[in-house]
Structure 1
Amino acid sequence: MADPRSYRPAPGEISTSPGVYRFRDPDGRVVYVGKAKNLRARLSSYFQDPSKLATKTRTMVFTASAVEWTVVGSELEALQLEYTWIKEYRPRFNIMYRDDKSYPYLAVTMNEQFPRVLVMRGDRKPGVKYFGPFHPAKAIRETVDLMLRVFPVRTCSASVFKRARAQDRPCLLGYIGKCSAPCVGRISPAEHRALAQDFCDFMAGDAERFVKELESAMAAAVEELRFEEAARLRDDITALRRVFERNAVVLPENTEADVFALHMDELEVAVQVFHVRQGRIRGQRGWVMERVEDVGQDVMVEELLKQVYGDLGGTERIPHEVLVPVEPSEAEQLTAWLSGLRGARVQVRVPQRGAKADLMETVRENAEMALKLHKTRRSGDLTTRSAALRELQDALGIDDPLLRIECYDISHSQGTNVVGSMVVVEDGLPKKKDYRRFNVTGEAARDDTASMKDVLRRRFARMAKERQEGVVVTGQVEADEADAGDRRFAYPPSLVVVDGGPPQVAAAAAVLEELGLDDLPVVGLAKRLEEVWVPGDEFPVVLPRASEGLYLLQRIRDESHRFAIAGHRGRRTKAMTASALDAVPGLGPARRQALLTHFGSVEQIRAAGPERLTEVAGIGPTLAQTVHAALTASGGGDTVRA
């Protein structure tokens, strides 16, 4: 750990203007990003007597080895740049809300000839009607399943719809009455569009009209002794009422708001948000984060709103009103930033009384219960993970804690389509965004040890280069002087694990020594007896069968094996497709993909016959005969799918 005095800048070097600053560790990682109205005053506060600093702030300044800063023109620009850097670097000591999924919406594609109902995330598209957001996505699917009893709108994808039209046969939903089957002409385009519009009207709040119409139809069926139809209508009414009850009005119908609440202890914070649209709670979302900063609720609320809304733009995605438990720090700049993202005014305020204050209390109670549940569930897992890491560290004689473990595996079929995998575990948990695959070709693919050497050399080459250069930026930098690419791939692991015994371990150790990284611990886990091999040792390290450390290594090894096999199968599938279709003269990539999209697999293309092949755009009679002849000559057994 570095002494803060070793990298403390002179006060005269730091500007008194607004700006953003970054602390970096010895490996160049950004460990903290912050903003300040006065950079000199704020940065100086980090280099006071360490005993006066908060515990986690003291840990941060001793973890870092350099600080750099960027001067900007205003506090609003500082807020924007701070958000950008937090999203880019995901610093260890910043508040991070670990839920990066976009909001799920119920969408109706009114811009198509036959509108479709589906769950949609991401950017909005013109001509599509959206309802929500909902959370979880399962709630949308349950709602749609109930709605399709009364409004059997199409839900299938374009390829399924096109295939059903070509085969003149509806899908399963068409047979069970949950789709009006416009693909086979059971309903005209105009009638289907009217059905989709009724679906939209119901979701927009006009529910009672449809319920009354169904009640009238049910009464008429009973009078005419059509009891089966009356029973079906009764079930339809029940389904609509269940959907309607889920969307009960809690605030005035013109209310568009997101309601946030937090509940925290010394270590963690639980966040809950209710999405209110047209006065109804359309969705609920929540997550728990670690308190890596000793800050108050006002700063936490500011960070929360920046991360939740930073990637969302447009009037429909950011509501008119954001209700929070306390006024965020830098409230004026935050409101201006959100209004700029929305393109219209956004109000960020604390409800004091009335229905909105009551709803805020309900959200707070949800956050409190979520934190209690999280701690109850996690206590056993956290204890087990800590014990496994500690046991493994002691058994291998490694001095530093095993904060990051990387495991490597090779997958192939008799030396073809060789794929290497790298999986990452941090604090005993998988970090899937850092997973990597390596396609191994040429001389490196001759055997497993050569492939392992190639993968490790490619993975650690950049880290070795940066360690040799040993350049760490300190001081004022320009806003556009961001690092080229993602530096996280160059981070040193605490332990390197390879799948295999002494040959694989020796190969890995040789590569690390060649690159000047022989200080990185490396071990191998052999499958047969689950022995742990260390480079240069004649005998393996044998961990007890009930060892938590061995269980951890096995899980990492199995995950690496799974990840490698998935990549290998993908390459093999492409190779199989090439062997079947690429050899057909006159059939280019676009037409080949069109055939696979239309028919679904090479086997179905082979069985289709020349006449049906001409249904695909760009496939004429002559080319259809050529394709059919080539596939027939190649024989069966190829089941590659699009």
Structure 2
Amino acid sequence: MSMKITDPNELPKKPGVYIMHNSDDEIIYVGKAKKLRNRVKSYFRDEDKLDRPKTQVLMRHFAYLEYILTDTEKEALILEANLIKRYMPHYNISLKDGKQYPYIKITKDEFPRILITRSLKNDKASYYGPYTDSTNARQFIDFLNKNFKIRTCKNMDGPCLNYQIKQCSAPCINKISQKEYNRNIRRAKLLLQGRYKKTIKKLEKDMKHYSKNLEFEKAAMIRDQIETIKITLEKQNIQPTKDVDQDIIGIDHNDQEAAVVIISVRNGKTNKKDDLILKGINGFSDKEILTEFIKQYYSTAPIPEQIIIEDDIEDADIIKEWLSDKEGHNVKIKVAEDGHYLTLIKIAKKNAHISLTENTKEEENPLLTLEQYLNLPRLPYHIEGFDISNISGIYAVASMVVFENGKPAKNMYRKFKMNTPGPNDFAMMKEVLTRRYSHISPDYQDDVKNPDDSINIRPDLVLIDGGKGQLGMAVEVFKELNITDVPLVGLAKKFEELYVPGRSEPIVLPRRSTALQLLQYVRDESHRFAITFHRTIRGKAFTKSVLDDIPGVGKKRKQALLTHFKSLDAIYDASLEEIEEVNGIHKKLAKTIYDTLQNDRKKDKNN
């Protein structure tokens, strides 16, 4: 980057990027040019001769510029896109901050993990997205982890419960080779790219190989993977005559921002729909808006073989060359001409119009909206939400989160250890609701109220995570407790629909509704709080206990005992023969464990 420049005649007639600053040294605009001097001189005309009002305002704030030379105009285009994404200058068109959209990340470890993230880093990891729905992204990660048995632990310090329940391939104890594990990672990457047929073909090849070598267990596992992929991921065929990867882009805009919808087609099938927002478009033409979107979006998003658009873009040849080099195959940018593509463009534009309309509405008050949509007797100032967390019924816990005036009231959160045997989430939820709301029941007989005042508060709304079934169970609890003045609502994850008692059809709020987003926040927060408590409980069970003092019982045998018996109390109650049944526990060690625990129990009784 050169010294500060205020005279465009000091610039060379070469390709590069110019970076404009204001008097506070802030970057206010980034542009690229085939010949820097010629392009920048166009900004230094008399104000009434500048091409658009936005340029006039830009130059009123201009103090100086810097520049970076590149060898080609294509390199200038790439650098411009990266700098705009990095600095988000005020007078550039900017794709709404990618950090608020989740990405799926595959780490660059020896045995990679698949995570969700909202920040892109230069860490050699693989990123896929952005995803406009974090729930869908998490469900996709969960599917990939379970289907390919990918590790989820941060530290590979021994087999975890995921291995015990056959949801992890346990590279930590060499149950899978690095070569085989990374083959699974490559399959996951193909699915993230929407290449379902290619993934299935590779899996079928592996299945035949294992079957030929009489490794029938591995062959059966891959057969199940193939079936799961077909059931879970294959979408309705939108274009049966073409087996090609395409993105169809539709745009709608007002004076201030543009909504862009991308319909992704992979192998001729609809893969997903993304909708994003472009800010700062005032004064830019439709062609410039579309050009800037393509440059910024495809700097991080997966690039298909074809990008279908309604009209031509600027620098089309350079952009095609850049995208082709970036992806390693020929990328075509095609203007829709025939009826089929024009229909798809029309669908994308209609969705963009809906997205733009919802995005530019006057911001709603989520509490008022909930009161109106759910027909509540009062404003839902105090909302309570619940979640259950356990692994096959082990260390089962529940959480209660509280939101007041639409914000988390963390001092009122509560944690519950479950007494209900599991796994039975319905029964556990019934237990926690009964324990929480028995204190506000008119039939509550204690003369002295619970000293915890927050437990005695009557909520304005109770959120149940689930559809009709879960809501029906909560209604039964309230009926048994004779509670008639506390509203209930169920939030079903699959389609984010709301269910209320006495109504058979769900209530569907707009995806961008702040009322729906508030309920999603309550649900997600209750899930996070439950998971955190469950991990704490589970961690304590694996830390210090009398088992640590028994010679021959190391970390792995201790874990085997706790996994087999579910709890430390159950090990105390076990007979010698039952202890001998645990994997890795021989007779002599079983006798030592049994005697030690019985002696420890006698000491407790004597004390």
The interval holding the TM-score normalised by the smaller chain is 0.3 to 0.5
